[in-house]
Amino acid sequence: MQNFRQDIRFAFRQLRRSPGFSIIAVLTLTMAIGANIVVFGVLNALVLHPLPIPEAQRLYQAQHTKSEWINLSYPDYRDVRDRNHTFSEIADTRLMRFGLEVGNSAQPVWGYETSGNYFAMMRIKPLLGRFLDPPTMSR
């Protein structure tokens, strides 16, 4: 313990001798620790804690791709959904760019465009009100 105290005193004496280096070292450590906290927070929220979806282990994502872009039109999705005999439900999602009106201008934002049964398939319920349900055929 005595050696540790001596090392700490020596470190503080060296830091007082060169304040410019000390400030840069402290700022560098602060930025590095802050970046690690942000990265861990995102990793913790997205990867380590699963989404609160009932029976999430039963969900699968399938993509029909052509090169890098998803190439499944909505009529194709409906055809796949109607001929499905394997899965209990199939929903369609697509990452899209939308315009969000802020004040007098529109800002580009990213969001998902989904089929009408998406929230019912995920068993997600709104906090208030209800979601838009897919249209039903009346006879």
How would DSSP label each residue in 108-121?
A: EEEEEEE-TTHHHH
- The three-class DSSP label of residue 93 is strand
Res 139: pLDDT: 46
Q: How far is CA 14 from CA 20, 21, 106, 127, 132, in A?
A: 12, 10, 55, 58, 67
Side chain identity, residue 41: G
Average pLDDT for 69-76: 73
Quick one: which of 9, 4, 7, 11 has its CA closest to 26?
11
pLDDT digits (tens, 9 = 90+) for 92-134: 888 889 999 988 888 999 988 888 888 888 888 888 888 876 6
Q: Is pLDDT above 90 for 11?
A: no
